[in-house]
Structure formats: structure tokens, C-alpha cells
Structure 1
Amino acid sequence: MSEFKESKSITQPTESHASENNDGQHSLINGPPEKFELGSMYSDEHSRIESEPVSHSAPRDVDWDGPDDVLNPMNWTPGKKWRTLGIISLMTFVTPLSSSMFAPAVTEVMKGFKSSSTILGEIVVSIYVLGFAIGPLIIAPMSELYGRKWIYLISCAAFVIFTMACALSSSMSMLIVFRFLAGCAGSTPVTLGGASIGDMFPKEKRGAAMAVWGMGPQLAPSVGPIIGGFLAEAEGWRWVFWLQAIIAGIIMFLGAIILRETYAPVILQRKTVALIRETGDSGLKSSLQDPTPTSQIFTRAIIRPIKMLLFSPIVLLLSMYTAIIFGYLYLFITTLPQVFQGQYGFSVGVSGLTYLGLGIGAILGLMVVGKTSDSMYRKLAARNKDIGVPEHRLPPLLVTIPLVSIAFFGYGWAVETRTHWSVPMIMTALFSMGMMPAFICTNMYFVDAFGRYSASALAASKLLQSVVGAFLPLAGRPLFDHLGLGWGNSVLGFIALTFLPVPWLFFRYGEKLRTRFDVAF
């Protein structure tokens, strides 16, 4: 309760009412309400409070103690914000790391369990990503009910347990089941990270924060196979999972020490509970409290991501594009070892190095977004009478979106003709350089556009991404067997090319579309 002692503002009921801006922060309109400080109430009116019963007839709102309230995550010191973001970013790195770190070891697993099914070999990798589709449907509403911090920590603990179970698996079916459960638990930081950034950082400073957080989900799938390839070759495939569990356990311990709650409605609710205990006034309520019953809130929150996908063309089309890109990434992850071992004669360990192209391109893409996003946002806002809108997040994506198609055309024909191995690696770097702005700009767009419900918008996007990421790699081998590596990858390039107009369409007409197709929550 001590953390609430510096912030004890109570809003007396007036004719004014509350509204929410896109950041999910509470604002008061129609004139300032009457406020009084609990500290002065105790010192000046102590005897009156003791002698008169507290009136509970008119509930009073507990709000932030002014615009500079230290409890409001928007007002945290930069050090506190970046420490919190640092832990979230580490969590967001280790769980996608597990999705791909295992890929080079699949051949060893197949030998160990005496299986020759190529489909099973691909499923044991992609089933983890399917967990990323199911997890957000529960995680997003839970975070909007109970806050972010404990969802992060509990999910991290579950991830450690399920990863250890993968290491101890005695059959292929057991390994597949625990890989799926580990994916469900591991989806938490990927789902909530963007929403946590929206909780702490104002719009004009989210670009750099998103770039740092975005390293995890985009860079980890490129780094993972490099580590996993050599580790599996030296120590066996089980140690790939033991290493993941050790890293996640350390991060969970750091998170228990450093993480703080960032979700404003939960912080104000805890502040309200502390004030009720201190004053005995049960008439107090949080200004952000939703009077709807918890069961109804939870049901509505589970349905909300599906509603966004079905009824918001912005969420649907941007999620479809990022889903295609995500599926392409995991197509690379599952096929690169086979291509370079088959076409160029690389060993299991050395084939893991072929993911370096994806990693280098991801870093370049992060640099593009980190350097340009916030500055472009401020310039476009200045041209719009100092009013920033979510569409101002899209310019980096407008520039880099053609790189995905170019990469697939170049990669496909380079490996088909067995051009020097450096050429297809350069093409994979171009792909991930185009991929990074797609994910980061889309995440920032959803956070800016949906504010308090940004976790649900991101969950909707992750749902579609993960389904495509899980099943598209299964179509890779039949596609390449039928059309060859050249034309097979060209087909993927043409599909990506059809999405070229999407960000331009939303940059110009996104605000009208958001207004016209506003989803009722």
C-alpha cells in the first residue's frame, strides 16, 4: 500500500464525465471536478471523520493525482521505463528463439525416435508457432483484467516447465504436445510487448522503444538456428531445450525483481483498494473501473480479437500481410538447412550459419525503423496542425515493402542455379530488412489506433500470423518439389507483391476507414 501514498487524488461526483484518449489514459472534460487530498483531510478534519459515519451514497472516483502522478507509467523516469522494457524485450527474445533454435536438430530427433516422416519433422518445428496463435486469445483478455506483470511472470514459469518437458520427452508425440504448450506460454511477451510500450511511452517516443522490443521476435528466429545447429551437433538435441529453459529461468528471476505493473486501469484499481482499506470508505471506485461483471468482461475480451479481424478492414489487411511475412520467415527457417545441405553440401552445424543473412537484415531493418519512425511521426504531425495520427507510423513500411518480393525472386533463382552461396544469403538479408518495418510499423499502428484495447488488436494480428506461420512451411516442400526452387519462390514473391498497395491505401485513407468501420467493444 505504501506505493500509493504519494498519489491519493479523489474526484468528487459532478456533472462532468470521463473520457478516454487513444493511449488509454483518463481525461476529464466539462470543467475540472472538485478534488481534495487525503493527507489534508486527515490533519484538518480528523475529529469530524471519527465522529461522523462515512457516506457511501455517492461513489467517488479515484484518479491520477494530476498530470505528473508518479504512479502513472507515462510519468515514470526514463530509467524505470527502460528497465521494464529491457526485461520484456529479453522475454520477447527467448521465446521466439525457441521457435527456430530447434530447427537444425530435427534430423537428429528423427534419428533418435526412428521416424522417417518428413511431415512429422516439419510439424515438430511449426507446432510451436501454432501455440502462438492459441495463447494470445487467453493472454490478451487476462492482461486487460489482471494487468501485465503477473501474466508475464506466470507465463514465463510455464514456458520453463514445458521446455524442460520437451527435453525429457520419450516419444515424438510427447515432444510435439509439449512444444505446442511451450508455444502457448511463450506467446505472452510477443502479444503484450507492444501494449506495454503503449502503457509507458507517449506516441512521439514509441518508435525507438518498439525497435528495441522488436529485436526479439524478428532477430531471435535468425540467431536461434545458429546456436541450435552447433549445440545439437556437439551435445545432442535435448541440450537445445535445456539451454532454452536455463535462459528463460534466469530472465524470469530478473523479471520478478525488476518488472512493474504498467496497465493503467489495474494500477488505479489497486490504488482504490489501498485507499478503501486506509479510509474505510467503500464508496470509492477507480475512474477507469468497468462496472461490467468480470465473466462478461472476460468473454467480451476473448471475442474482441476475432471481432477486430472480421469487422475492421485495417486490422484484417495489415494482419494478413504480416501473417504472410511471418509464414515466409518460418518457411525460411524450416527449409534453409535442407536447401543448403542439399544444394551446397553444408554440414548440420555449418548450415546453421546460413541464418546469418536473416539476422543481418533484421538488424538493418531495425536501424531503419529506429532512426526514422519517431522523426517522421513528428514531421507529419507538424504538417497536420501538430496532431499525430496512427497513419503517421507507416512511412518506413512504404519504403521497404518491395524488398520482400525482390528477395524471393533473387533467392529462388540463386539456389535453383546453384549460384555462389553468398547470393541467396544476401537475398535472405533483403527479406528480413523488409520484414522488420512490416512488423514494427504495424504494431505501432495498432497501439496508437486502439489504445487501451491495443493488446486485443495485437492478439488478433498474432492469431493470424501464427496460424499462417505454423501451416505455410508445411506447404513449402510440396511447392518446391512441384515447381522447383526458382518458380516456387517466385510464386511466393508474386503473392507478396499483391500486398504492395495496402500500406499506401491505409496511409492515405486509414483514418476514414477507422472511423467508418469502428468496432464496438
Structure 2
Amino acid sequence: MASSSSKEKNAQQSNLDLEGVTPVDSHAPSVKEDDEVALDELENPKSWSSARKWTQILVICSASACATCFSSVAGFTEVGLEARFGVSHTVAILSISLFVAGLGIGPLLLGPLSEFFGRSIIYQVSYALFVALNFGVAFAPDIATHLVFRFISGFAGSAFLSVAGGSVADLFDDAHVALPMAVYTLSPFLGPVLGPAISGFINQNLYWRWTYYVMLMWGGVELVLLILLVPESYAPVLVKRKAVRLRKETGDDRYYAPLERSNKTLFGSIKASCIIPFQILLHERMALLLDLWSSLVLGVLYLTFQAFPIIFGQVHHFNVQMTGLSFLGIGIGMIISLLSQPYWIALHRRKVAEYNGHPPPEVRLYIGMAGAIMFPVGLFWIAFTTYKSVHWSVPMVASILFGTGTVYIFTTVFTFLVTAYRPYAASAMAGNSFLRSAFAAAFPLFAGPMYNKLGTVGATALLAGLSTVMSPLPFIFFKIGPRLRARSNFAHQD
């Protein structure tokens, strides 16, 4: 019996050795595994009350609109800049172009920051820098200082804009995210439309620097609201904070958060953020063409900041403040796009049900098909109604269609890129932001010469024609998108 027991013990020892497990003395003190911390249901931002979540969304949206509004308010300060600093009109336009360039470059370097530090600290620091740097714009003693501060203030503001969309995903689950995401998507594009209306009234009645004084007041209010009303919502950072708190309260170092043991480094993330977006642009035809389409749309939108003063100021003899109000038609169109969201949300839900809960990314292209028609039709309508003999209200009504189509196109491109390139969604969006901003920075610079050479009809019709060339994209990719994604190294596979 003793011999049999000894054999069994040896066999057990052999099995443990084979499994690579060291036998433990039953009388030795037990060693517990580390405990990974998770958020309770009530701690999860998605479980917060609707009022609390929507308050944060509206503050973030108004701050986004303010940041992008800073880009276009410069349009009506150009005359003041030329007179004060003795520069040409082209140099004065750089006030818009350099700010937009900063907005486009920033996400490549600053986009990954929230993955390490969270949303709220990025909001507060970037917006504080944004407001502070705009003091340099407002009080610049010379044109070089003014332009440098315009660029770096745009760069600082881009950190906020690159993170803001993530907060929407933090707060709402997939079933309820469509409406708040639509509201947020509208805000960065509504800001540039509000800019001329604000700037027109200020520059009609006050010194040009007051444009920036007023905007600084708005930016300061937004900063206070961000500090008071927008807490941290990024779940991995909240889990990390909880782990730190538990270790402190209990004295037990076993508690940890996944973020604390991640192999990702800040430098590595920034490096990837600067490389992968351009790899996607270089190798992915769908991403490149959709990015070019949305870039053309934003370029045309920013070109209107030079074109509308010609159409309504020179042709229809509007004064400065009334010319600024001529942009409200675009704004009305953008708001109509938001009001139509329940229809598009219902359509998407039907498609989700049709595909048993797993629709392909191509279903996101439906709203873009509508935008692909409305945008060029609106531009052609504006083009052929810019004659002095045509009442000014006609091209303004046409700009409503233009505004609605603009938001539809951006919505379809953004949502398609995020769903089709899900593993690399942030990089796909960073590449889109860079290309869009490049077009938006360049287009205002040649608007004046183009309209002087071709006239209001020819120049606007040329833009409409370019838009028409791009219009088939959502229809084409709806058909062949699955085949292209199947051969892609970056796209999400069904």
C-alpha cells in the first residue's frame, strides 16, 4: 500500500512537471492573482442620465462651433488687416488659410493624447491654450505675429476637435448614438457659417480687432463650461482612476487597470498617427476618393467666404453686415439636415434588421447619395442666378440646398470611414481631416482671381461641375465596396 501510494505521488509529480506547474506545499500561504478593476454599471458613462449626457454633448458642440467659427470670422477682417499692416489681399486671406492648416495638422500629432490622458484634461488644456493663443491674434503688432498666432491657435484647437467625437461614443451605446453623433457632426461645420454673420456686424460698426475680442469672450465662456460641465467620460481612464483609488483605500496593490499594463507608448501612438493615415490614403482607393470628395466640399464651403462678398456685395450691393447674413441660407440648410435625421436613422435601423444586426458599411452611403445630388444642384442653382437682374433671394434659397447637401456628404463619408476601416478608424479620420483642411486652406487663396477671370456664373458653375464629377462615388462604392474591402489590408472584413 505504501508503495502504491508512493507511485501515485510520483505520477502526480510527473504530471505537474509535464504541465510546467511547480507543486505547492498545501501548508504554504496562498498567493492570490491580481484583480483587474472594472466599472460598475452606475459608474459607466453610458448609464448616466440623459440630461447629464446631453448637457455634455451640447457644451462640446457649442465649443466645437466656437473653435471653427474662429476660422471664418477672419473673412471680414481682411480690409482692416490690409489697412493696418499694409499688406495685399492675398496675404490677408492667409489669416483664414493658416488657421485651417493648423486644424488639419494637429490631429496627426495630438489625436492619440486622449488614449493616455482622457478626454477632459485634453478639453481643458487645449481650449485654455486655444483661448490664450488667440490673445496673440487679437493684439498682434504686425502681420507676421498675427499669422503665426493664427496657425498655432488653430493647431491648439485641433486637439479639442480631434477628441470631441470620441465623447459621443463614450456616452451613448450603438442603439442611441446616431442622433447625438449627428448633432456633433453638424457643429464644426455650422461654426464657419456663423462666422461671417458675426464678423459682418462687428466690422460694419467697430474696429476689426473687436472681431477677435468678441470671439475671445465666447471662447472664455466655453472654457468655463467645459471645466464645470464636462467630466471625464473615457472608460479606460475612469477604470485607471478607480484602480488607483482602490489601492490607496485598501493598501492592496493587486488592483490594476488594463491601461496601466498596456504596451502602447505615447511616442509609438503619435508615430503611428502620423504614418498610418497616409498609408491608407496611398493604398486605399475608396478612402482616397471619399476623402477627396469631402475635401472638395469643404474647400468650396471655405471658398464661399470669398465668393459671397463678390456675389452679394459687389453684384447686389449688400453692405458688410448684410453680406455676412447672406451665409444664413447655408446654415438653414445644415439645420434642415439635422431635422431630417430621424428619417435616416429609421432607414438605417431597417437595414440593420434586414442584415440580421450586421449591416455592411455600404448602408452608410444612402445619405451620401442624397447629398451627392443636392450639393451640385445647389451650386448650379447659385451659379445661374447670380445675375444682377435676378433677385438676391433666389441664390440665397439655393444655398439652403447647398448647405443640406454639405452635411449629408460629410455624414456619409465620416460614418463610412469609421465603419469600413474600423480597426484603423482614428487613422482614417485623421487622414480625412488633413486632406480636408489642405483643400479648405488653399481654396480661398484662388477664389478672387477665379471669380475675376470667369465671373460669378462661370466660377460657380466650374465648382458645380467638379462636384458633379465626384457625385457618382457613393453609388459606385455601394455596388463595388464589398469587393474592394475584401482586398484591403486596412478595411474591416464582414
Query: What band does the TM-score fall into relative to the shorter chain?
Result: 0.7 to 0.9
Contact kept? 1:73, 1:262, Cα under 8 Å: yes
Distance 1:452 1:236, change over 3 A: farther
**2:75 is equivalent to residue 100 of structure 1:** no
Distance 1:400 1:293, change over 3 A: closer
350-359 vs 258-267, which deviates more? 258-267
Match for residue 184 of structure 1?
A: 155
503-512 vs 203-212, which deviates more? 503-512
Match for residue 475 of structure 1?
A: 446
Shift of 1:153: 1.2
Match for residue 292 of structure 2?
A: 320
- Bigger Cα Rg: 2
Residue number among 185, 200, 208 corresponding to 2:179 in the alignment: 208
Structure 1 residues without counterparts, runs of 5 or longer: 1-50
Residue number among 67, 70, 85 corresponding to 1:113 in the alignment: 85
Amino acid aligned to 2:298? F
Deviations 1:13-69 (A, max 9, x none): xxxxxxxxxxxxxxxxxxxxxxxxxxxxxxxxxxxxxx96865xx65533444xxx2
**2:411 is equivalent to residue 440 of structure 1:** yes
Match for residue 72 of structure 1?
A: 44
**2:394 is equivalent to residue 423 of structure 1:** yes
Deviations 1:210-265 (A, max 9, x none): 22213321222122211111112212111110111111111111111111222233
Structure 2 residues without counterparts, runs of 5 or longer: 1-27
Instruction: For 2:192 and 2:221, locate their aligned partners in 1 and report how far apart those are by CA, in whole Å.
Output: 20
Superposed counterparts of 1:110-259, under 5 Å: 110-115=82-87, 117-259=88-230
Amino acid aligned to 2:201? F
Match for residue 365 of structure 1?
A: 337
Contact kept? 1:198, 1:451, Cα under 8 Å: no
106-115 vs 243-252, which deviates more? 106-115
Shift of 1:492: 1.3
**2:36 is equivalent to residue 61 of structure 1:** yes
Instruction: For 2:310 and 2:92, locate their aligned partners in 1 and report how far apart those are by CA, in whole Å.
Output: 12
Instruction: For 1:264 and 1:315, locate their aligned partners in 2 and report how far apart those are by CA, in whole Å.
Output: 29
- Give SS of 1:126's match: helix
Distance 1:504 1:240, change over 3 A: same
Instruction: For 2:30 and 2:149, locate their aligned partners in 1 and report how far apart those are by CA, in whole Å.
Output: 57
TM-score normalised by length of structure 1: 0.83
Distance 1:256 1:223, change over 3 A: same
Instruction: For 2:269 and 2:30, locate their aligned partners in 1 and report how far apart those are by CA, in whole Å.
Output: 34
Instruction: For 1:520 and 1:444, locate their aligned partners in 2 and report how far apart those are by CA, in whole Å.
Output: 13
Amino acid aligned to 1:61? E
Superposed counterparts of 1:28-67, under 5 Å: 60-65=35-40
Instruction: For 1:130 and 1:162, locate their aligned partners in 2 and report how far apart those are by CA, in whole Å.
Output: 16
TM-score normalised by length of structure 2: 0.87
Instruction: For 2:418 and 2:53, locate their aligned partners in 1 and report how far apart those are by CA, in whole Å.
Output: 17
Contact kept? 1:404, 1:431, Cα under 8 Å: yes
Shift of 1:278: 4.0
Contact kept? 1:404, 1:430, Cα under 8 Å: yes
Instruction: For 2:470 and 2:156, locate their aligned partners in 1 and report how far apart those are by CA, in whole Å.
Output: 31
Contact kept? 2:46, 2:170, Cα under 8 Å: yes
Instruction: For 1:294 and 1:330, locate their aligned partners in 2 and report how far apart those are by CA, in whole Å.
Output: 34
Shift of 1:158: 1.0
Instruction: Report how many aligned residue pairs link the two structures.
Output: 464
Distance 1:352 1:396, change over 3 A: same
Contact kept? 2:281, 2:287, Cα under 8 Å: yes
Instruction: For 2:130 and 2:176, locate their aligned partners in 1 and report how far apart those are by CA, in whole Å.
Output: 31
Contact kept? 2:386, 2:456, Cα under 8 Å: yes
TM-align CA RMSD: 2.5
Instruction: For 1:512 and 1:74, locate their aligned partners in 2 and report how far apart those are by CA, in whole Å.
Output: 35
